Structure 1
């Protein structure tokens, strides 16, 4: 029989060896897929995150914009990638919690086909109008839409995005005479809004912030429990007279199904460190974005709760997408 002290010594040695194992290290550049065109609100989170991850992982983290179908096309590419940590998805609430209720069919299952890694950030959706639109409050905007000859188009980053659903819920709650006008991303929608080709837009607050500051756009309200630090003079929807309209967009990093635990642990740990960094937090705050770190397990629970919440909003609004 093996002496007990030898057995305990052996187990202790094994434990120390396990703890001493090096963390997962990428072997080549990492592709961080953003399922929307360049220049939109997701890019404002993705690009600084990619740079900081590049610095700590020792390999380039390259943002790859793959827009289309409300984010579904880019997400499908990640689903089909090898689960080795070299292809990741930074996506918003639309792909991960809204689209399965909004679309009649999806080429993937958001829960089964992705490995949650970490929640990164969140921001409220803002209702903004071109500065030439003759309204300054939400009440005035609703009244203005109701006297137009045809429904007023509002731009969004595409079907299934937070802006789309926020717009449909707003229309249902207020009776505003609106019609959804989807674009292939926030950037082209914002361009048309600034040019006056579309009078209004719903989008996460960081996307139109620069044009608001320049006076080309006017923010009427944000869909959050409290005012955005980036737009302190802009009321919340509740303050503007629209109760039950809290639509906070969020962004998370996920990978293909079957991602190994060491990969998840390393990536989540690095994102947590980034989230704790004061310069990262200050940089996001200037854009109206809040760091919202959650670990893999926490993100999985959060995503399921958000799917229930946003799914109820989809059904209540009657919004659908092909």
Structure 2
């Protein structure tokens, strides 16, 4: 009897949440016309893929189109600066990442914005662990193969990234420290060109999120996942713990923010649209195919608490890497 009551209560709570989201979406809290989503990374990379997937579903929920505005450069800071100065009325939102709201505050000696004070929260989209990728013809069949070669020839192997201070750069730097190897860092202007050189065999490895489309292309091979457990989409790929590099975890997250002073009703409406999108089975499938993990929908305030808790974790990654940008 108690179990039946519990199920009924959960069902009622879920129905109430859905009804509240539907009510919020019906409110005229946003200005008419298209909404701009600023993405601080180039088209074709993991961040851009997440933005385009979620914006398509949110557009349906809102009944308004969401236009992606890629403003790449400076580790995402160019796009973040643009979004921080946008009109705070709900017509401009930004794809927030572990870089824009975590790594960059510790990495850069000076920023033109404050990631907390200059923004307002909307919600969490998804999280994604990094995957170590090598070219399809790479002689390295395991992480230990790569480590053995790197120790035998210090400084001869290299890893690519989307730029100095990018999540790929910091993941590679932390791996270098934990594995005790000397490998060179090659920064590119975005993840897409780094992956192009990896697939062409000009880079030895990249540790990146959004890896599954590249793996399915047949042009790269995965060696390990920087997560506490194996990815469901890559059941045969070991974690770094299993591969002998203990304690190597990356958890790149993606969310949405708006300029500071955006009215609360606008934030709530955008949050309701995001959470409605996250309940869509098709979006779950698409995220899984990108190598991302679905998350439980969060309210505006819970999301901001999450961001603030993640920032010192990101800062510690920067400290371990020793990376700094003037």
Structure 1: distance between partners of 2:275 and 2:120: 17
TM-score using structure 2 length: 0.88
Match of 1:275 in 2: 278
Tell me whether 1:291 sits opposite 2:265 in the alignment.
no
Structure 2: distance between partners of 1:218 and 1:22: 48
Match of 1:237 in 2: 240
**1:20-41 deviations in Å (ceiling 9; x for gaps):** x934133121110110000000
How big is the alpha-carbon RMSD for the aligned residues of Structure 1 and Structure 2?
Answer: 1.7
Q: Which runs of 5+ in 1 are unaligned?
A: 1-18
Aligned pair partner of 2:264 in 255, 261, 271: 261
SS of residue in 1 equivalent to 2:169:
helix
- Larger deviation: 283-292 or 33-42? 283-292
**1:257-276 deviations in Å (ceiling 9; x for gaps):** 11110000000011111111
SS of residue in 1 equivalent to 2:276:
helix
Q: Which runs of 5+ in 2 are unaligned?
A: 1-23
SS of residue in 2 equivalent to 1:225:
coil
SS of residue in 1 equivalent to 2:206:
strand
Tell me whether 1:300 sits opposite 2:279 in the alignment.
no
Structure 1: distance between partners of 2:156 and 2:269: 50
Structure 2: distance between partners of 1:25 and 1:80: 18
- Larger deviation: 225-234 or 52-61? 52-61
Aligned pair partner of 1:217 in 217, 220, 225: 220
**1:91-119 deviations in Å (ceiling 9; x for gaps):** 32111111101111111111111111101
Aligned pair partner of 1:105 in 88, 106, 110: 110
SS of residue in 2 equivalent to 1:112:
coil
**1:169-205 deviations in Å (ceiling 9; x for gaps):** 111111122122121211111111111121211110x
SS of residue in 2 equivalent to 1:32:
strand
How many residues align? The count is: 302
SS of residue in 2 equivalent to 1:286:
helix
Displacement after TM superposition at 1:244 (Å) = 1.4
Task: Go from structure 1 to structure 2 and tell me whether the alpha carbon gap of 1:303 and 1:189 turns closer, same or farther (over 3 Å shift).
Answer: same
TM-score using structure 1 length: 0.89
Are the aligned partners of 2:30 and 2:91 in contact in 1 as well (CA < 8 Å)? no
Instruction: List structure 1 runs of 4+ shifted beyond 4 angstroms.
Output: none
